[in-house]
Homo-oligomer: A and B are copies of this chain.
Amino acid sequence: MPEIRYFFEDFTPGRSFPLVDKLVSAEEIVAFASEFDPQPMHLTEEAGKASILGGLSASGWHTASLFMRMMFDGWLKEAASEGSPGIEFMEWKKPVLAGDRLSGRSTVVESRVSRSRPGIGLVRFLHEVENQKGQVVLRGENPIMIRLRPSQEAPA
């Protein structure tokens, strides 16, 4: 595992952390949908074209899971994360089509120390994922629990 360098204190409101880019293939769209969301528009180009999505499109849960990995590789792997209690909202704004290249960022909306868990803070992020045309495809907010910096590691 990579070294932890981001603690609660580093997540100040307004600060943005980039997600890692991700190219989405038809094969992975179909593989995810076959396991978790076998609605026709996620399985074949023909059914996607016949739907309001307009083509073979990733399940929204696949897009959300891809976002999670883009966030992990982008910054979360270096953060003192203790996971998350949930999602405040998530919008699937545009279809994610085979061949799309996704990018994005997580921006700190607010942060506070937990009242119930000593040493833990709650940081609420706005996450935005865009395609190669600059269109936002996924947008949502969720709180992540992040450990406070241990006192011996306090900045000078």
The 0/1 profile, CB within 8 Å of B marked 1, for residues 58-98 of chain A is: 01111011101100100011000111111111111000000
Of chain B, the residue at the smallest CB distance from A79 is B39
Q: Check if A56 is an interface residue, CB within 8 A of chain B.
A: no
Which residue, A68, A85, A88, has most C-beta atoms of chain B within 10 A?
A: A68
User: Please, how many angstroms separate the alpha-carbon atoms of A1 and B92 in the complex?
Assistant: 25
Of chain B, the residue at the smallest CB distance from A51 is B82
Excluding A32-B65, A37-B68, A90-B90, 19 further A-B contacts by CB distance (< 8 Å) are A35-B65, A35-B69, A36-B68, A38-B72, A38-B77, A39-B81, A39-B83, A52-B82, A52-B117, A60-B83, A60-B86, A62-B65, A64-B64, A83-B92, A86-B89, A86-B90, A86-B92, A87-B87, A89-B89
Contact (Cβ within 8 A) A39 B92: no
Q: How far is the CB of A24 from chain B (nearest CB, A)?
A: 13
The secondary-structure label for the interface of chain A is mixed
Q: Which B residues touch A146, using CB under 8 A?
A: none
How many residues does chain A have at the interface if contact means C-beta atoms less than 8 Å apart? 39
